[in-house]
Structure 1
């Protein structure tokens, strides 16, 4: 693969979620009435909660308190929380309810996160087993999908067919989502893939409310930095009237130099923030720039000074 190839997003986090200062606390006296009132107000306004300048993927929802504490400490206003199929009957539902409860109290937006390369072969199953059950919980402000069709064997042998199925899947999900906003993760090199007489980044952007570009580099500047790698998608978003986030990686990807440069793993928080601020400054004037997204909660918690 060329240096422009991004590592697949769905990685098993090998770094445990560490304790974060500033965890959400409540007083013992009168706690239940206050939490109940707060939750009721938050629930009524949840659907109107706007996208936040910083988002974070949360693949492991088993420790909602630590996730929300991390988010509030680091200025994260939006969570992409992993939702399993048929969540209504899943043991994970209790975790998600608790996560959203705490997020509501902190004023955070929570979107349902899901995706698998196999989704392109059975979008009807995705709608009936994942999308509709997730939205039926009433917990989520929007939908965030991470499909990654390029990780399939067919991408190499019959890419044109995979691209067609991928875009058809997005069309199906967008229709089924109704008024719920739908976002998608894309690698920055989608601008190099032909699709429908255009490019795959633009065709994905057309079908979604917003995209997050996995421009995974631990340097913002330069020809191989996050700013340059995401420039075409930022422009496409502006042309098409859609929002575009820039994704940044914090998990361990490997020891190869190509893998090392894609993540802030092993670097300090101050160094990471310095690079993120450069990205924000570079795109501050773009109407399509929606902010940053950090992958993921476990890796980000381990980035400290």
Structure 2
């Protein structure tokens, strides 16, 4: 899908001429075609826009996935998002609208009316980034085939409704093992979107259970289908079980994390599909130092 202009009114400054208040010309920002960055970051908590942008600029993050609630036009979060995007504009960062819920697959028309359309109407965002995760529901276990069908139909409807606005989706690394439409679910999602971020959450890059091995199938699929693939990494506390510990850089130093990220980047540097890394999320990442 091609980019279109998303022009947002940042604000207008009032001036006084001959004792009479006059409105200055509206200041606009054209975010058309703002390119994807080599590193992105999920921002679920938008309550401190300055902290988010400061973190991003300090650590080489060029793209933000900023959480947007339904009915954002009437939400108190709108002011936070306007401030975040204004600061991001000044810092040269791209901001995409982040949203998603497993229940979306049961009523995608509601999603279009109550989330997508109000979000795009703000003019704040370059693209849309969805994190739906229908596999977290009991329905996935009971009737996975039906859920997969609804999931893909949801992406189809969102893509149609978004028109030329680019849409990206988060997918787990194991979607290459799920059959769908005579293919695999990862490939069916890649076909329906402009890009994907594969959640290959491991705190080691190498080895049979490392990030590189887990993300390889999706990067290959992206190359074959002509779509960019970003690789997601986790920083939040997930639990104390060894399976949970290995999925996150929580408890490690920033230097240790950067060493592993560099190995991932190097492993996929020759792939035309590899679009960089995405860090989950701003709060967890900010807590990693040293």
Both proteins in one fold, TM over 0.5: yes
* Distance in 2, Cα, partners of 1:96 & 1:180: 19
* Aligned mate of 1:194, from 164, 174, 179: 179
After superposition, the C-alpha distances for 1:136-164 in whole angstroms (9 at most, x for unaligned) are 00000000000001001110000000000
Aligned to 1:249: 234
Aligned to 1:118: 103
User: Structure 2, unaligned stretches of length 5 or more?
Assistant: 1-13, 15-25
After superposition, the C-alpha distances for 1:89-110 in whole angstroms (9 at most, x for unaligned) are 0000000000000000000000
Q: Secondary structure at the match of 1:55?
A: strand
Q: Secondary structure at the match of 2:32?
A: helix
Q: Does 1:143 pair with 2:128?
A: yes
Shift in Å, 1:40: 4.3
Aligned to 1:168: 153
* Distance in 1, Cα, partners of 2:250 & 2:127: 29
* Distance in 2, Cα, partners of 1:177 & 1:72: 29
* Distance in 2, Cα, partners of 1:269 & 1:128: 41
After superposition, the C-alpha distances for 1:43-93 in whole angstroms (9 at most, x for unaligned) are 12x122100000000000000000000000000000000000010000000
Aligned-residue CA RMSD (Å): 1.5
User: Structure 1, unaligned stretches of length 5 or more?
Assistant: 1-31, 33-38
* Distance in 1, Cα, partners of 2:196 & 2:162: 16
Aligned to 2:94: 109
* Distance in 1, Cα, partners of 2:71 & 2:107: 15
Give 1:1-305 correspondences, 5 Å limit.
Answer: 40=27, 43-44=29-30, 46-305=31-290
After superposition, the C-alpha distances for 1:1-57 in whole angstroms (9 at most, x for unaligned) are xxxxxxxxxxxxxxxxxxxxxxxxxxxxxxx9xxxxxx947x12x122100000000
**Larger radius of gyration, structure 1 or 2?**
2
Aligned to 1:22: none
Instruction: Report the structure, 1 or 2, having the larger strand content.
Output: 2
User: Structure 1 length as normaliser, TM-score?
Assistant: 0.86
* Distance in 2, Cα, partners of 1:133 & 1:240: 31
* Distance in 1, Cα, partners of 2:191 & 2:206: 28
* Distance in 2, Cα, partners of 1:187 & 1:238: 18
* Distance in 1, Cα, partners of 2:32 & 2:231: 24
Shift in Å, 1:119: 0.2
Aligned to 2:8: none
Aligned to 2:4: none
Q: Secondary structure at the match of 1:227?
A: helix
* Distance in 1, Cα, partners of 2:184 & 2:110: 27
* Distance in 1, Cα, partners of 2:202 & 2:273: 21
* Distance in 2, Cα, partners of 1:178 & 1:103: 25
- Runs of 4 or more off by more than 4 Å in structure 1? none
